[in-house]
A = this chain, B = another copy of it.
Amino acid sequence: MAALRDPGALTPLTLCPNGHAIDECSHCKVRALSVCSALDGDELEALDRLARHVAFDARATLFEQDEASEAVFNITGGSVRLYKLLPDGRRQIVGFALPGDFLGLSMSDRNAFSADALSAVSACQFPRQLFSDLLDEKPHLLRRLHTMASHELSLAQDQMVILGRRTAEEKVVAFLMGLRKRWSRIDGSTVHVPLPMTRQDIGDFLGLTVETVSRMLTKLAREKALVIVPDGVRLLDLPRLEALAEC
């Protein structure tokens, strides 16, 4: 695990040769959440032969918008920011990838967005074309991928409601509640919500400015709905927060 913090690692590092990968997978903490779940021994083996276990330093780029897509990733640790840039510099973050999330669901040949590491990130990397070929051989894997893509689509539509029809306060609360739900599947935590991204990132995800995000968080803290802690928040008044996030 020391390799994760290798200060020179601006490019992916192979943590272990493919020959040992089965061992890696059997220890994988996000197996049940990831694309690998619900695959039988045969399928998992085929998938595993394609996998390279890689790590990225915080701030490293996984891939960039409009570039040819060479690989797809299954995130096993850390968190990743996914965003689109407008020509004039305005930025919209389209999602944050957490452990268990899959990048490249669409299998398209060009990246629809950029992705970079918010913290040290570990991932399983698969060559895109080989992974795509495998999908044609393993319908079970394809079905799993489709289920994950459908879930992503559903989250994207929820985000549309948040962006289009909610107030600044509601946006921030909905964001926290949504993130809390996702973290809880990973680390089981209930009231502590780690925020590995900056206020600016949250703003660019919610269609707000940094200042407004900061103001809303302090307002919620002043009203004792939550406490701001180092690298995150602790939720205090869940009923009130759930009412604000509604549905």
Residues in A lying within 8 Å of B, measured CB to CB: 84, 86-88, 90-92, 94, 105-108, 112-113, 135-136, 139, 142-143, 145-146, 149-154, 156-161, 163-166, 204-207, 246-247
Contacts and interface: CB of A to CB of B under 8 A. Distances in A.
A143 B142 contact: yes
Contacts of A135: 143
Given A105-B153, A139-B139, A156-B156, A84 B161 contact: yes
B246 A112 contact: no
Contact of A108 (B92, B150, B204): B150
A152 B143 CA distance: 17
Contacts of A105: 150, 153
Contacts of A150: 105-108, 149
Given A165-B91, A165-B207, A207-B163, A112 B157 contact: yes
A246 B149 contact: no
Contact of A160 (B92, B106, B166): B92
A246 B206 CA distance: 21
A161 B86 contact: yes
A137 B229 CA distance: 51
A213 to B, nearest CB: 13
14 contacts: A84-B160, A90-B165, A91-B165, A92-B161, A92-B164, A105-B150, A106-B150, A146-B146, A149-B149, A149-B150, A149-B153, A163-B164, A163-B207, A165-B204
Which 9 pairs show the lowest CB-CB distances between chains A and B?
A164-B207, A106-B150, A156-B156, A163-B163, A139-B139, A92-B161, A94-B157, A146-B146, A90-B165
B247 A87 contact: yes
Residue of A92, A112, A158, A204 contacting most chain B CB atoms (<10 Å): A92
Residue of A108, A113, A153, A207 contacting most chain B CB atoms (<10 Å): A153
Contact of A165 (B92, B139, B157, B166): B92
